Structures are given as structure tokens and as C-alpha cells.
């Protein structure tokens, strides 16, 4: 599990992808890699999520591909069977967390308050998705949670973009961020692969510049 989260930190940004056409998954994977992002979270909000995970892994075998918007154990099992290397949920579901722990699958449940963080910590988790980050207070709430939970690292998602990325990247308790701005639906539908690569490159540069400063 530590190796997966180390990759999260090294890359700094996880594209959150809702893909409607699995035939585009391989080209999308290559565009992400070209832009310096070797990780992807395929959300289970679309019917072709499992196939998209398989196609991305086939196209870029060294890419870290996981599943997002996972709501229950049945979806978790399907995602892992398709090849997902990590599970992200919008909220805290103890059944999903327990299944992932039992099967040694890295999981990042969503949290929005201290009670949910406490429940996750008591399960032995230390990497949590803060969602919806901007509506909860953005960097301010990241800082607030850093006091009572010094050993928790967050993956802020929801409202994160290139404009506020710098502020999140400066936080020591932010492992990485999740976002959709570089993989918006229209970019995928219109086959804007070069634009996706460019947006990925910009995001990676911002994060790496901050971490080097």
C-alpha cells in the first residue's frame, strides 16, 4: 500500500475521470502519460468504467489505474477484478474499507468532518479524500484538520483546479489533489489528446515547482 501512496505523492495530482466511451480509454491513458501523469481514477459513474480500466492498463501497463466513486463492496470487487490498484469513495463506507483492508487493496474513503476522519483513523487508515474540498472550506479546513489529525494525509477533491492548486500543494498534510479540469468530458469526447497532455503538464509543473521551493 505504501508504494501506491508514494506514487500519489510523487505525481501530486490524480485525474478523476468519468469516461462514457471505453474505446477512448487507451488514447486517454497515453495522453495522461505524455503529460507526466501516470495515474488515473476511473469513476464508477458510467457503465463502461470496468472496461475503461482494463483498456487503460492494456495501453499503459505501468500506469497506476484505480476506481473512484465506489459506493459498495460489489462495485469494489468488480473494480479490483478489472485491474484497479486502488479504491476511492466519495464517503466513508465501513464495509468497503473492511473489504479493502482484508484484501490488501489501498483505499481512500471520502471524509468531510472530524467524526468521519476519526472512524477512518480507527480503521488504521492515514490517507483520506477530503470531499467536496472547496465547499468545505478549501485550504483552511485542511489546516484545521492538521491539528487534531497530524498523521493524516489528505487528497482534496472537488473544486480543485489550476488556480488554487498551488495553495493545496503547499500544505504538508496534502498528499496530492484530485481533479477533473485536465480530463473534462468535452475534451475526451472531442479527442483533444494534446490539450489533455498540456493541461497535465501544467499541473505537474505547478506541484513540482512548489515542492522544490
* Tens-digit pLDDT profile for residues 69-113: 999 999 999 999 999 999 999 999 999 999 999 999 999 999 999
Cα distances (Å, whole numbers) of residue 118 to 80, 126, 166 = 26, 10, 28
Instruction: Decide if pLDDT at 211 tops 90.
Output: no
Q: Per the structure block, which three cell numbers stand in for 168?
A: 493545496
**Cα dihedral value 123, 91, 161, 149, nearest 10:** -30
What is the pLDDT, as a whole number, of residue 80?
Answer: 98
Active-site residue 41, yes or no?
yes
Looking up cell 487534531, which residue turns up?
Answer: 148
Q: Name every residue whose Cβ is closer than 8 Å to that of residue 59 and which is 6 or more positions away in sequence.
A: 25, 26, 27, 29, 30
Instruction: Tell me the pTM.
Output: 0.97
- Name the percent of the chain lying above pLDDT 90: 97
What is the pLDDT, as a whole number, of residue 45?
Answer: 96
Max CA-CA distance within the chain?
A: 45
Computed on alpha carbons and rounded to an integer, the radius of gyration of the chain in Å comes to 16
Instruction: Decide if pLDDT at 173 tops 80.
Output: yes
Instruction: Decide if pLDDT at 7 tops 90.
Output: yes
Q: What is the 3-state secondary structure (H, E, C) of 153-198?
A: EEEEECCCCCCCHHHHHCCCCECCEEECCCCCHHHHHCCCHHHHHH
CA gap 44, 115 in Å, rounded: 26
Strand, helix or coil for residue 17: strand
What is the pLDDT, as a whole number, of residue 137?
Answer: 97
Sign of CA dihedral 26, 32, 33, 39: negative
Q: Which member of 50, 85, 129, 134 is catalytic?
A: 129
* Tens-digit pLDDT profile for residues 13-23: 999 999 999 99
- Up-side HSE of residue 95: CA atoms within 13 Å toward CB? 8
Q: Per the structure block, which three cell numbers stand in for 113?
A: 468532518
Instruction: Decide if pLDDT at 2 tops 90.
Output: no
Q: Which member of 41, 50, 55, 134 is catalytic?
A: 41
* Tens-digit pLDDT profile for residues 127-163: 999 999 999 999 999 999 999 999 999 999 999 999 9
Lowest mean per-residue pLDDT among 28-32, 89-93, 131-135, 207-211:
207-211
CA gap 16, 8 in Å, rounded: 13
Active-site residue 185, yes or no?
no
CA gap 148, 87 in Å, rounded: 25
What is the pLDDT, as a whole number, of residue 17?
Answer: 98
Question: Could you tell me if 156 and 142 are in contact, meaning their C-beta atoms sit under 8 angstroms apart?
Answer: yes
Mean pLDDT (the chain, rounded): 97
Instruction: Decide if pLDDT at 213 tops 80.
Output: no
Amino acid at each position: 500500500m505504501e508504494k501506491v501512496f508514494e506514487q500519489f505523492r510523487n505525481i501530486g495530482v490524480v485525474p478523476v475521470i468519468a469516461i462514457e466511451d471505453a474505446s477512448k480509454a487507451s488514447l486517454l491513458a497515453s495522453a495522461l502519460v505524455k503529460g507526466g501523469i501516470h495515474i488515473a481514477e476511473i469513476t464508477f459513474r458510467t457503465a463502461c468504467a470496468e472496461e475503461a480500466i482494463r483498456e487503460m492498463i492494456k495501453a499503459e501497463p505501468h500506469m497506476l489505474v484505480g476506481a473512484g466513486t465506489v459506493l459498495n463492496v460489489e462495485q469494489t470487487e468488480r473494480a479490483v477484478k478489472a485491474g484497479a490498484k486502488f479504491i476511492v469513495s466519495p464517503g466513508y463506507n465501513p464495509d468497503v474499507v473492511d473489504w479493502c483492508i482484508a484484501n490488501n487493496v489501498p483505499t481512500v474513503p471520502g471524509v468531510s468532518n472530524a467524526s468521519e476522519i476519526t472512524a477512518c483513523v480507527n480503521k488504521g487508515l492515514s490517507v483520506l479524500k477530503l470531499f467536496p474540498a472547496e465547499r468545505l472550506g478549501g485550504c483552511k479546513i485542511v489546516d484545521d484538520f492538521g491539528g487534531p489529525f497530524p498523521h493524516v494525509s489528505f487528497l482534496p477533491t472537488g473544486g480543485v483546479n489550476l488556480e488554487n492548486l498551488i495553495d493545496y500543494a503547499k500544505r504538508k498534510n496534502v498528499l496530492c489533489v484530485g481533479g477533473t479540469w485536465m480530463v473534462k468530458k468535452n475534451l475526451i469526447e472531442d479527442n483533444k489528446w494534446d490539450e489533455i497532455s498540456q493541461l497535465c503538464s501544467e499541473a505537474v509543473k505547478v506541484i513540482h515547482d512548489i515542492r522544490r521551493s
